[in-house]
A and B are shown apart, each in its own frame.
Chain A
Amino acid sequence: MDLTKVDAIIENYDGDATSLLAIMQDVQDQENYLPREAVNHISAKLDVPVSRIYSMATFFESFHLEPRGKHICTVCMGTACHVRGAQRLVEHLERDLSVKSGGTTEDLQFTLEEVNCVGACALGPLVIIDGEYHGNVTSTRLTKAVKKLKTRKGGE
């Protein structure tokens, strides 16, 4: 990744080491994950040991150290969604995207994830695609949404 971007983010927080968590979040927003060279760079700039940054990044579920796809599909696995067939949606997406749950496609286009509950139980089963909440989804609607993203990839 472009380390000048990391520099700009650190500058936003006046190079303050107490803002480490916010800096890590901002870097992840740029790349969808925390690249190792960015971690090393932050460590050197803020004079915070790499071990501490790694420790924090592995403590919080929201940080990712492996590259993730451009599009992120998150399937809610909460109780309400579960009883309405969330597991089947995951399997459906696994087949559609040819990637195991929790994994990223080889072309770095899609990441399929599960989450335990997003608190929108009345809308279950729920799938979040690129931050957009799709309530009462069916496998046909999922296929359509995924297809739309796949074709858009070609158009860009």
Chain B
Amino acid sequence: MTVQFTINGVKVEAQKGESVIEVARRYGFEIPSLCHHQAVTPYGACRVCLVEIVKGGRKKLTTSCNYEVLDGIEVVTDSEAIHKHRAMVLELILAEAPDAEPVKKLAAQYGVNVSRFERSDTEMAQERHDCIMCGLCVRVCTEIVEVNALAFNGRGYNRGVGGPYLEAPQSCIACGACAWVCPTDCIGFVEEDGMRKVLKWDRELPMEKDENGRPIAPKFQLHYFKEKFGLPADIYKKAPGSR
């Protein structure tokens, strides 16, 4: 079922169930975001993707990532008010993640170079480092990789992301999807000395080597893929081209 509405005065068409941000981006309108990824369910955590939506004559500011398209709505992706709100949101996020380059870059685009707010000095805040708790890593780990290694732990100022019992998660396959998707690059992912390391979760796994002694991927990860997709036992012995 198609839905018709306007974005910045331009008539657009979308499928029912799509989110405003996806449709806007498809039509080439820019909406910044940190916690959104098309592969996982929207979460509305970072609030950078704020837009104005006029529905039934009423105007409101809302997050475009988890707003489903509706017939006849008018979406505005940029205005003075939106700019002001995004700048405020980014200033708050910058306070939580003062060293995260992607956040700094985005904030600078909105004229925010220094945050007036201080990061809380609790133990958990130190532990979180540049994490803005957008939950992208958690969603990728549960919905895409399906190993459920990560979850939000604690509550309030003690909230943080990590494995159970604050230890290296035993179900983590060190695939690195969390590090790849993280909008603040705060997870850390390295391969050295035949080991794959995901730094934030303290997870270290030995890597399988091909016949030339070059590391392919962690053994545990390869095993997980083999089991999950029912691949033949000798799949990783074969050259990449003939698999």
Q: Chain A residues in contact with chain B, CB under 8 A? A: 36, 39, 49-55, 58-59, 61, 65
Do residues B154 and A59 form an inter-chain contact, with CB atoms below 8 A?
Answer: yes
Q: Chain B residues in contact with chain A, CB under 8 A? A: 142, 148-155, 163-165, 169, 171
Task: Give the shortest distance, in Å, between A64 (CB) and chain B (any CB).
Answer: 14
- Chain B residues with CB below 8 A from A36, complex form: 165
Name the residue of chain B whose CB is nearest to the CB of A50: B164
Task: Give the shortest distance, in Å, between B240 (CB) and chain A (any CB).
Answer: 32
- Chain B residues with CB below 8 A from A39, complex form: 164
- Chain A residues with CB below 8 A from B151, complex form: 49, 51-52, 54-55
The majority secondary structure among interface residues of chain A is helix
State in angstroms the CA–CA spacing of A49 and B164 once bound together: 9
State in angstroms the CA–CA spacing of A50 and B171 once bound together: 9
Q: Which of B142, B149, B152: most chain A CB closer than 10 A?
A: B152
Do residues A52 and B148 form an inter-chain contact, with CB atoms below 8 A?
Answer: yes
Residue in contact with A53 in the complex, picked from B142, B149, B155, B164, CB distance below 8 Å: B164
State in angstroms the CA–CA spacing of A51 and B151 once bound together: 6
State in angstroms the CA–CA spacing of A65 and B165 once bound together: 9
Task: Give the shortest distance, in Å, between B95 (CB) and chain A (any CB).
Answer: 24
Residue in contact with B155 in the complex, picked from A50, A54, A58, A65, CB distance below 8 Å: A58
Do residues B154 and A58 form an inter-chain contact, with CB atoms below 8 A?
Answer: yes
Other than A50-B164, A51-B164, give 12 A-B pairs with Cβ distance below 8 A: A49-B151, A51-B148, A51-B150, A51-B163, A52-B148, A52-B151, A55-B151, A55-B164, A58-B155, A59-B152, A59-B155, A65-B165
